[in-house]
Structure 1
Amino acid sequence: MSNPDFNLLLTLDAVLAEGSVARAARRLHLSPSAMSRALARLRETTGDPLLVRAGRGLVPTPRAVALREQVRRLVQEVQEVLRPATPPDFSTLQRTFNLRVREGFVENFGLDLLHRIQQEAPAVRLCFVQKTDRDSTALREGVLDLDIGVAGKNTSPEVQTRQLFRDRFIGVVRQDHDLSAGEITPTRFALGQHISIARRGMEKGPIDDTLSSLGLKRDIITVVGDFATALALVRASNLITCVPEQYTGKLRAGLHSFPLPFPAPEITISMLWHPRLDADPVHRWLRNMVQEVCSRPFEDRNSQHT
């Protein structure tokens, strides 16, 4: 059986509603001859004459009468499906969003983001999922709504991205560390004992490349997989680590932070989402909320909820 022509539903609805081929043609902006051809196709498809002549007019057959309400309902449902989405009512919206983030995001941006969302959509919930990799499969499969971090080579080309902010690496030591006072030179920095941060256990990175260009090498005594672990070790030792400045603001509370004594590596923090959500007005609202919160200076975010 060949696929049905759903345009015939519109024709049948007009014919049954108007009871006249001429009036149905005007309703659908068709010529009388085009309307007659469409009616002929309808008769062939349904196996019923649908309208028969009675005097000077046309009257519906029993099959046409039985179909009238069903056809009207189907046409209305199709029109509803194809109608542009109505603006959501955020005051009553109930929805849960899954955001994949690295440690530090919730501590530095989460409270402000929750506050903004609660102001406009009190029934919306955020579920923060720990980032363990950069694989885009979870976005494609709908498990995640947003992925926040550095877009890498493993990011699928189909994924949409928007830059949130640029961040730079800084050095961090405990308050009474030797590097907490005096001028910090590249040599003085490299002479300390260091913690490297790498999810995949890679010991060296851009900081080591920069030091190597200066003829220096830092003494890395341990490699950890996240910022929070590195900062916890720093807090209890004489070790040195390097972390992104904005991303770890609150994680570094009580520690001494300093600019690196050489050109600091920079990273771009972005949010990523699957293109199927691009036109969703609620998801677009969420993206704008995240953008707004992340664009604010750290001092403003830190002072609002103290």
Structure 2
Amino acid sequence: MENMDLNLLRALDVLLDEASVTGAARRLGLSPSAMSRTLTRLRSTTGDPLLVRAGRHLVPTPYAADIRERVHALTRDVQAVLRSQHRELDVKALDRTFVLRANEGFLNVVAAPLVTAIMKEAPRVRLRFAPKPDKDALPLREGRIDLEIGVRGTSAPEIRSRLLFRDMFVGAARIGNPLFLNGDISVARYAACHHVATSRRGAFKGPVDDALEQLGYQRTVSVVVPGFPDAIEIVRQSDLVTHVPRSCLANLSDDPAAISRLRLFQLPVKTPEIAISAMWHPRLDADPAHRWLRDRVQAVCQKVPGSGLIL
């Protein structure tokens, strides 16, 4: 098997179809002598003459006549397997389930418009959103997740990614919170507040704490919740403050009651920019359907930062 030349399969298909060395040579762009040598190789490989002379013409042997249709089908299948994947995708007929993994804050903002966009173009496509307890790349490697949305980790260098949008942390507290009583929010007054932190792992420290420590300050984290929507709900009904990605507040602009009880502010410390990416395993890189999904996700996400909320 390791010495098999698939070019012989193509040559055999054309020879059996033409029943002529000259005709087969013309179709394959070879000289008649090269085609004759190929027929000799085929005869040696199969142990059968394949084409024999009958007057001025060549006719197939019984074995050649018997395998002609099989050879043609095999040639067609091999060409289909080896053909470039840059083919036209019939999105309307696409019948497939895609599994996406993202955190709750992202889903609150993006899930609805993404589903609308997908269903409009591909009504037979199904989406399953999976929880994201961590950044483990194993589900991507094992094929249990088709696409992951979030901040890229560093544990899986082979994972492909595409930047969707850049985000930033903003502060949030209820209107009437004592933090807003004395003008500009200083680092000292901000650090003196009781805070709600968000962490899937239950961590009490994060980027804001690192920035505060560089300036010689330390804040008090009184509550840790797993998702940003939980943090927003707590600060709306208490004197605690929190920080969340700006994108998580995008859908609040459509809820006057919610936004009327919440005030956003620029953090008095500088935190790293958040790069939100789509991630997938290389096995799906050239898949037309998956490429279409990636494009749709990116198109929806490009509208996320424009929430209309003014700090």
Q: TM-score, normalised by structure 1?
A: 0.89
The 1:199/1:258 distance shift into structure 2, 3 A limit, reads same
The 1:2/1:278 distance shift into structure 2, 3 A limit, reads closer
Query: Does the alignment pair 1:114 with 2:115?
Result: yes
Are 1:20 and 1:57, in contact at CA under 8 Å, matched by a contact in 2? yes
The sequence identity of aligned pairs, in percent, is: 51
Letter in 1 for 2:178: D
Query: In the TM superposition, what are the counterparts of 1:98-109 in structure 2 within 5 Å?
Result: 98-109=99-110
The separation in 1 between residues aligned to 2:90 and 2:11, in whole angstroms, is 36
Of the structure 1 ranges 230-239 and 287-296, higher mean CA displacement relative to structure 2 is found in 230-239
2:93 corresponding residue in structure 1: 92
Secondary structure, aligned partner of 2:166 = strand
Q: Give the superposition deviation at 1:112.
A: 1.5
Secondary structure, aligned partner of 2:136 = coil
Q: Give the superposition deviation at 1:218.
A: 0.7
1:177 corresponding residue in structure 2: 177
Query: Does the alignment pair 1:258 with 2:265?
Result: yes
Query: In the TM superposition, what are the counterparts of 1:43-192 in structure 2 within 5 Å?
Result: 43-85=43-85, 86-154=87-155, 156-183=156-183, 184-192=185-193
Q: Give the superposition deviation at 1:180.
A: 4.3
The separation in 2 between residues aligned to 1:247 and 1:300, in whole angstroms, is 9
Q: Give the superposition deviation at 1:281.
A: 2.2
1:14 corresponding residue in structure 2: 14
Are 1:112 and 1:301, in contact at CA under 8 Å, matched by a contact in 2? no
The separation in 1 between residues aligned to 2:240 and 2:34, in whole angstroms, is 84
Q: Give structure 2 stretches of 5+ with no counterpart.
A: 253-257
Are 2:208 and 2:269, in contact at CA under 8 Å, matched by a contact in 1? no
Are 1:171 and 1:243, in contact at CA under 8 Å, matched by a contact in 2? yes
Are 1:206 and 1:265, in contact at CA under 8 Å, matched by a contact in 2? yes
The 1:209/1:81 distance shift into structure 2, 3 A limit, reads closer
The separation in 2 between residues aligned to 1:237 and 1:15, in whole angstroms, is 83
The separation in 2 between residues aligned to 1:83 and 1:215, in whole angstroms, is 62
Task: Calculate the aligned-residue CA RMSD, in Å.
Answer: 2.3
Letter in 2 for 1:126: L
Q: Give the superposition deviation at 1:87.
A: 1.3
Query: Does the alignment pair 1:27 with 2:27?
Result: yes
Of 286, 292, 309, which aligns to 1:279?
A: 286
1:194 corresponding residue in structure 2: 195
What's the CA shift string for 1:127-177, capped at 9, x where partnerless?
A: 1111111111211222111111111222x1111111111111122223332
Of the structure 1 ranges 190-199 and 251-260, higher mean CA displacement relative to structure 2 is found in 251-260
Are 2:250 and 2:304, in contact at CA under 8 Å, matched by a contact in 1? no
2:248 corresponding residue in structure 1: 247
What's the CA shift string for 1:20-44, capped at 9, x where partnerless?
A: 2222222222222222221122112
The separation in 2 between residues aligned to 1:131 and 1:248, in whole angstroms, is 20
Of 270, 277, 280, which aligns to 2:277?
A: 270
Of the structure 1 ranges 21-30 and 130-139, higher mean CA displacement relative to structure 2 is found in 21-30
Aligned length: 301
Of the structure 1 ranges 175-184 and 263-272, higher mean CA displacement relative to structure 2 is found in 175-184
Are 2:162 and 2:278, in contact at CA under 8 Å, matched by a contact in 1? yes
Letter in 2 for 1:140: R
Are 2:250 and 2:308, in contact at CA under 8 Å, matched by a contact in 1? no
The 1:69/1:264 distance shift into structure 2, 3 A limit, reads closer
Are 1:207 and 1:265, in contact at CA under 8 Å, matched by a contact in 2? no
The 1:2/1:77 distance shift into structure 2, 3 A limit, reads closer
Are 1:164 and 1:295, in contact at CA under 8 Å, matched by a contact in 2? yes
Q: TM-score, normalised by structure 2?
A: 0.87
2:236 corresponding residue in structure 1: 235
2:255 corresponding residue in structure 1: none
Secondary structure, aligned partner of 2:247 = coil
Secondary structure, aligned partner of 2:153 = coil
Of the structure 1 ranges 178-187 and 122-131, higher mean CA displacement relative to structure 2 is found in 178-187
The 1:214/1:202 distance shift into structure 2, 3 A limit, reads same
Q: Give the superposition deviation at 1:2.
A: 5.6
Secondary structure, aligned partner of 1:229 = helix
The separation in 1 between residues aligned to 2:172 and 2:299, in whole angstroms, is 28
Q: Give structure 1 stretches of 5+ with no counterpart.
A: none
